[in-house]
Amino acid sequence: MSAAGALSSAFQEVVILERDVLPASIMSRAGVPQDRHPHLLLAGGLQALDSLFPGFAQDLAAAGAVPVNVFKDVQYERPDVGALPRRDCGTSLLCGSRPLIEHTLRRKVTAIANVKVQSQSRVTEIVPAATRPMVKFENDAGVGAAIEADLVVDASGRGAPTLGLFDALGWERPQETAVGVDISYTTAVLRPGRTSFDWLNLVTLPDPATSATAGLIIPLEGGRWFTSISHHGATNRPGTWEDYLAAARQLKTPAIYNAVYKLLPPGGLRHFVFDASRWRHFERLKRLPRGILPVADSLCRFNPVYGQGMTVAAREAKLLREILDRVAGEADPIEALQAGFMSEVGALLQAPWNMGVNADFAYPTTRGQRPERYEESRQFEAALFRAVVADPVVQRAFSDVVQLVEPFDLINSPDIRQRIEAHSLAQNA
């Protein structure tokens, strides 16, 4: 949807083909099974959506999303340094369910006169063409239709239409970097109980050397709370609320257990298993099939525990908009758009990818190729967190980087580097 909004100013008509029946109200749907689990929209994503769709943040807040100041309202518990200081780092989130975020965005997108959402339209194939690719789709009754388009954006999550097109053309599929994490999520929606908390987000991380279980509580609209327990590389998962409480008791601190047992027990638990983060390196190819652009999860799927996917998708849409402005005068603006996007998207993906993958490889069960100079980066991370605790300037920089508001280079800027080193020296003195 964010890509459709970004493209709408430059194309006569934008059609979103969606296989689901889209609900008129705020509710889960089959095509996005992950929507029953917490979906944190990072500050960088909120800013990107608000710039693409002016008034988006205001609408999301008006629809019931809960404002959360980072880190004033966030209890973020790490195994190495304990809870991070509750300082105001200058950014705010709006916490709500994924259906709420999607509903608010869909209203913005469908208000654009030349964007049309066509539901119950499952894409079956992209037919290659020298000039304009054709997208074939069918409804639930199997009745087929096709649209020819100047540009086909594959935002299907798994990228199957684009990969199918590569196969049909006899092209080699792009190289892929995969990091196996086998994250198992167990989520409950809780209602207010006997107490209130002095935080709005609570995160408890494990020491990966001894445990693979993390916990989270975030608010959602309607005065409810999401709580999730995630296991890295684990096969067992809590099957009942009693099991869930037992797992919460095993976390590094009792904070989540102490909070959830005071809330009203859930109607049921929801589960999700995420096998691997996957970056398909379309950006390394010399060219893409004419008029085809894979975006968001189709291009790169992040480990969901870091809450990056929607934010990256929104930032990619913003990048598309910027490139569109630049290529308007080109002889072949479609090819220039494809090439321009692919030449810049790698830099956009690299920082969130590195942050997630570096954290994942601390768990012995993680599969795949460790990043180069991994031990060095772990040591740097340890020094960074000591400095985050001691120094408000470093904490703000960390906050901006992890929220994907600022590029990772901010952490490497001379001032921040110097501060991190100063705290390391003080620690070792």
Ligand X SMILES: Cc1cc2nc3c(=O)[nH]c(=O)nc-3n(C[C@H](O)[C@H](O)[C@H](O)COP(=O)(O)OP(=O)(O)OC[C@H]3O[C@@H](n4cnc5c(N)ncnc54)[C@H](O)[C@@H]3O)c2cc1C
Nearer to ligand X, 260 or 313 (CB): 313
Q: Which of 28, 34, 120, 177 binds ligand X (CB under 6 A)?
A: 34
Q: Is 35 exposed, middle or buried (0-12, 13-18, 19+ CB in 10 A)?
A: middle
- Which of 87, 106, 122, 367 binds ligand X (CB under 6 A)? It is 122
The token duo for 10 is 């430059």
The count of residues interacting with ligand X (CB under 6 A) is 30
Please give the residue whose beta carbon sits closest to ligand X in the complex. 309
Amino acid in position 332: D
Kindly write down the DSSP assignment for every residue of 213-225, as one continuous string.
EEEEEEEETTTEE
> Near ligand X by CB under 6 A, which window of 14-22, 111-119, 143-151, 168-176?
14-22
State yes or no: residue 182 binds ligand X (CB under 6 A).
no
Give the residues across from 297 on adjacent strands: none
Kindly give, in sequence order, each residue whose CB lies less than 8 Å from that of residue 258, ignoring residues fewer than 6 positions away: none
Q: Which of 220, 313, 320, 345 binds ligand X (CB under 6 A)?
A: 313
19 touches ligand X (CB under 6 A): yes
- Smallest gap from Cβ 223 to ligand X, in A, equals 20
Sign of CA dihedral 16, 19, 25, 27: negative
| Interatomic CA distance for residues 355 and 406, integer angstroms | 13
CB 395 within 8 A of CB 373: no
Instruction: Determine the interface stretch with ligand X among 35-43, 194-202, 246-254, 362-370 (rule: CB under 6 A).
Output: 35-43
Q: Is 32 in the site for ligand X (CB under 6 A)?
A: yes
Site membership for ligand X, residue 310 (CB under 6 A): yes
**288/338 Cα distance (integer angstroms):** 7
Cα–Cα distance, 233 to 402 (Å, whole number): 24
Residue of 7, 26, 40, 205 that binds ligand X (CB under 6 A): 40
CA 175/CA 34 separation, integer angstroms: 26
Query: Could you say which of 297, 316, 360, 400 contacts ligand X (CB under 6 A)?
Result: 297
100 touching ligand X, by CB under 6 A: no
Interface with ligand X includes 232 (CB under 6 A)?
no
Beta pairing class for 14-17 and 115-118: parallel
> Least CB distance from residue 253 to ligand X, whole Å?
21
d(CA 209, CA 35): 31
* Residue 303 Cβ vs ligand X, minimum distance, rounded to whole Å: 9
- Which residue from 5, 8, 18, 182 is in contact with ligand X, where contact means CB under 6 A? 18
Nearest partner of 273 among 185, 214, 212, judged by Cα: 185
CA 223/CA 199 separation, integer angstroms: 14
Instruction: Please identify which residue in 23, 31, 128, 346 interacts with ligand X, judged by CB under 6 A.
Output: 31
Q: How far is the CB of 149 from ligand X (least distance, A)?
A: 14
296: contact with ligand X by CB under 6 A: yes
Site pattern 131..170 for ligand X (x: CB under 6 A): ------------------------xxx-------------
Task: Report if residue 56 touches ligand X, rule: CB under 6 A.
Answer: no
* 382 is a contact residue toward ligand X (CB under 6 A): no
Q: What is the largest CA-CA distance in the chain?
A: 73
Question: Residue 405 and residue 421: Cα distance in Å, rounded?
Answer: 24
Binding residues for ligand X, per CB under 6 A? 17-20, 31-32, 34, 37-41, 122-123, 155-157, 185, 272, 274, 296-298, 304, 307-311, 313
